[in-house]
A = this chain, B = another copy of it.
Amino acid sequence: MVVKISQRLLAMPASPIRKLVPYALMAKKQGVKVYHLNIGDPDIKTPEVIIQSLKNWRINPIGYGQSQGQPELIEAVKWYYHRLGFNFIEEKNIQITSGGSEGISLAFFAVTNPGDEIITFEPLYTNYNSYAVFNGIKIVPVLTVAENGFHLPPKAKIEKKITKKTKAILICNPNNPTGTVYTKQEIEMLLGLAKKHRLFVISDEVYREFTYDGRRQISLFNYMKTMADQIIVIDSLSKRYSLCGARLGALVSLNQEVMAGALRIAQSRLSAGLIDQTIAAEIKKVPFSHFQKIKKEYQKRRDIIYSGLKKIPGVFIPKPEGAFYTIVTLPVDDAEDFCRWLLTDFRLNNETVMLAPANGFYATQGLGKNQVRLAYVINANDLKKSIKIIQKALAVYNKKIQN
């Protein structure tokens, strides 16, 4: 080529969730039913009051929104935090973002200069890697393992990773992709490190309500007043209200410099979507019992996935505590090959399953090769069929490999 694209564009990783999509499309073209356990796109309906507000649309022209966010949405998000008991959150502490994704990128940009480091725990939400490339920084991963449900390693192991370049600790709680809900002790251990080493803590809490077996998420909002400068919470309406396609989230902090900077960045992209923001302001009319119903449904699915998969020989699945993901260890050497093969070759009653190879959920090359990430966002019946497909497929695949 006459011109060269940038090194950083070449370094941008492909999405492990989406890179097998062409194979899934091919399978579908062949008339094969594909169960999507690869992506966290919930099947739970968007609350009717939000859909209704679309149908009653009155604004024309569809002009720009405010850069910080539409006042009615900021107010609604504030209302939600107050309902959770965090009455100290004011409008000025909320920057509406285009999904949690934009919030993450914004937070990375705000606390790091190029070459700086952010510590987080792997397996990790794969887009942390992408946003690290995008912002020219390094994700320094601390390994967590399936054997203890991907809970945090001892403090010393984390502290060892802190260098002069470390600017923040990033935690996703409840965790995507592991389904781990961190304990109060774990959270406070991290905050202790942040205090000692003067680091930001970025807390990705988009699955706040998704906790099972009576667990409660320990939100960093609980510590925001005492560590006002240091805490940035990333939030999203996507999962909570089944609004993934509305691309709405929030960056929340009491650090005024962070908020002022976030607004300047937000100005450069003008605004988040006006329609999305307008209809999402209706969340004030969605009762909190909505979360209870959803939680119950996901816990049921979690039970199906957990009890079903742990019975398959050679499969290891820790009991997921929250969110709607889990990292499952499979009796295969190359889970990516298995995932591809599921789409290209394997059918059970003309059906198959799409899984996400877990290698893309690690920042360390070579890890997660025998693991997949699985999202239980389809109904109980389809989940049961998916488990059968996985069980049968593993048997066939391993026989094929041995031959």
Which residues of A come within 8 Å of B, CB atoms?
1-3, 5-10, 12-15, 17-18, 39, 41-46, 50-51, 54-57, 60-65, 67, 98-99, 101-102, 105, 109-114, 116, 127, 130-131, 134, 136, 167, 195, 198-200, 227, 229-230, 242-247, 255, 257-258, 261, 264-265, 267-276, 279
CB contacts (< 8 Å) of A227 on chain B: these are 2
Question: Are B12 and A265 in contact (CB-based, < 8 A)?
Answer: yes
Shortest C-beta distance, A91 to chain B (Å), equals 13
Question: Are A273 and B247 in contact (CB-based, < 8 A)?
Answer: yes
Closest B residue to A102 using CB positions: B269
Given contacts A101-B270, A273-B276, A257 and B110 within 8 Å (CB-CB): no
Closest B residue to A8 using CB positions: B113
Residue of B55, B56, B98, B199 near A98 (CB, 8 A) is: B98
| This protein's copies in its complex | 2
Inter-chain CA distance A51–B195, complex, in Å, is 51
CB contacts (< 8 Å) of A42 on chain B: these are 61, 63
Residue of B39, B64, B200 near A39 (CB, 8 A) is: B64
Give 15 A-B pairs besides A5-B255, A5-B258, A134-B265 with Cβ atoms closer than 8 angstroms: A5-B261, A9-B110, A9-B257, A12-B261, A17-B267, A41-B63, A55-B56, A64-B245, A98-B247, A98-B269, A99-B269, A127-B268, A245-B271, A246-B274, A247-B272
Shortest C-beta distance, A332 to chain B (Å), equals 25
Closest B residue to A15 using CB positions: B267
CB contacts (< 8 Å) of A18 on chain B: these are 67, 267
Residue of B15, B198, B243 near A2 (CB, 8 A) is: B198
Shortest C-beta distance, A13 to chain B (Å), equals 7
Inter-chain CA distance A245–B247, complex, in Å, is 13
CB contacts (< 8 Å) of A55 on chain B: these are 54-57
9 contacts between A and B (CB under 8 A): A1-B257, A5-B111, A5-B255, A5-B257, A9-B110, A105-B269, A134-B265, A245-B273, A273-B275
CB contacts (< 8 Å) of A110 on chain B: these are 5-6, 9
Given contacts A2-B230, A101-B268, A110-B5, A60 and B67 within 8 Å (CB-CB): no
